[in-house]
């Protein structure tokens, strides 16, 4: 199967492992991630004002340039911005008209592309039962906690990713790889996000609250899909220093394609 793929800026720089292990794992599963040509930054932050057009145009270009009908993302922020922009395109005629008039494409985007996170692809198209059978190196005995953060889950009705209050997709993913998922409070709360740039103490408080609950639940390591969460969980952890990996690294390890 071939999927259009939007990597996003951070996966080309500070989150290279998220991209590298995704590509290796996809190949092992018989999937091709076809990177979009000349993609641009998604905008990173979805605009709060509904009448802001310019911040969403980069996401619209990505949707227009998808050669396949399904556009795969890895980064929580990219997934968030692309999927919300796609929702706007389908449901907000004013936005759709103004964006089309501004960009003047040869063929107007018809809203038919479906934005999916790689975790959704594994769950809904590969299937976790099938993934379990492909795990040549089951992660038996490892106690792993998933940190969702906020961008992957909310707004729930728009993203339609999982239950924003009680998500299970990453726990099911961990279980499919042979490890034991450790559910804990605050796994679906904000890591502190960009507040860390102006108020490091606030970010540290957010991170420690999450890590305290993870350790109390028996977590020995953590995974995430968000580069910003990865940064805060590592750089702003004080009392606890749990190993944190991208979910794709865990997948590559179980599939036997992780280097080293």
- Look at the chain and report how many structural domains it folds into: 2
Can you tell me which residue has the tokens 């961990």? 174
Taking only the tens place, the pLDDT of each residue in 204-231 is: 999 999 999 999 999 999 999 999 999 9
Percent of the chain beyond pLDDT 70?
100
Q: Which pTM does this prediction carry?
A: 0.96
Judged against a pLDDT cut of 90, whether residue 26 lies above it is answered with: yes
- The domain containing residue 16 runs over which residues? 2-119
Write a three-state SS string for 162-193: CCCCCCCHHHHHHHHCCCEECCCCCCCCCCCC
232 with 143, same domain: the answer is: yes
Judged against a pLDDT cut of 90, whether residue 240 lies above it is answered with: no
Residue 128 in domain: no
The length of the chain in residues reads 260
Q: Judge contact between 175 and 191, C-beta under 8 A.
A: no
Residue 260 in domain: no
Query: Which of 119, 149, 166 is where one domain is finished?
Result: 119
Query: 194: pLDDT confidence band, cut at 50, 70 and 90?
Result: confident
For the chain, the average pLDDT equals 95
Percent of the chain beyond pLDDT 90?
90
182 with 225, same domain: the answer is: yes
226 with 251, same domain: the answer is: yes
Query: 260: pLDDT confidence band, cut at 50, 70 and 90?
Result: low
Q: Give the DSSP letter of residue 127.
A: -
Taking only the tens place, the pLDDT of each residue in 162-171 is: 999 999 999 9
143 with 243, same domain: the answer is: yes
Can you tell me which residue has the tokens 């399904």? 70
Q: Which residues contact 251 (CB under 8 A, 6 or more apart)?
A: 21, 22, 25, 122, 173, 177
- What is the Cα–Cα distance from 114 to 62, expressed in whole angstroms? 12
Q: Judge contact between 142 and 179, C-beta under 8 A.
A: yes
93 with 139, same domain: the answer is: no
Q: Judge contact between 81 and 42, C-beta under 8 A.
A: yes
103 with 137, same domain: the answer is: no
Taking only the tens place, the pLDDT of each residue in 123-158 is: 999 999 999 999 999 999 999 999 999 999 999 999
C-alpha of 248 from chain center: 10
Q: Range with the lowest mean pLDDT among 12-16, 96-100, 194-198?
A: 194-198
Q: What are phi and psi of 224, to 5 degrees?
A: -150, 165
Query: Which of 119, 152, 185 is where one domain is finished?
Result: 119
Name the β-bridge partners of 145: 222
């Amino acid at each position: 199967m071939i999927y259009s793929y939007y990597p996003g800026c951070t996966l080309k720089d500070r989150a290279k492992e998220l991209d590298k292990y995704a590509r290796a794992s996809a190949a092992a599963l018989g999937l091709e991630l076809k990177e979009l040509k000349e993609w641009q930054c998604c905008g990173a932050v979805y605009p709060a004002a509904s009448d802001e057009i310019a911040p969403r145009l980069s996401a619209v270009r990505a949707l227009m340039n998808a050669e396949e009908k399904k556009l795969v993302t890895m980064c929580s922020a990219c997934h968030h911005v692309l999927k919300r922009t796609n929702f706007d395109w389908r449901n907000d005629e004013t936005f759709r008209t103004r964006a089309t008039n501004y960009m003047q494409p040869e063929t107007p985007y018809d809203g038919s592309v479906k934005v999916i996170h790689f975790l959704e692809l594994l769950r809904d198209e590969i299937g976790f039962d099938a993934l379990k059978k492909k795990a040549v190196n089951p992660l038996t005995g490892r106690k792993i906690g998933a940190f969702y953060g906020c961008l992957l889950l909310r707004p729930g009705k728009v993203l339609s990713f999982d239950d924003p209050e009680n998500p299970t997709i990453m726990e099911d993913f961990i279980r499919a790889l042979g490890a034991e998922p450790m559910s804990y409070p605050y796994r679906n709360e904000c890591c502190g996000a960009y507040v860390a740039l102006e108020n490091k103490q606030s970010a540290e408080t957010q991170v420690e609250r999450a890590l305290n609950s993870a350790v109390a639940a028996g977590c020995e390591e953590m995974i995430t899909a968000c580069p910003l969460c990865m940064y805060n969980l590592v750089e702003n952890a004080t009392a606890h220093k749990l190993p944190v990996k991208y979910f794709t690294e865990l997948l590559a390890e179980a599939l036997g394609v992780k280097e080293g």
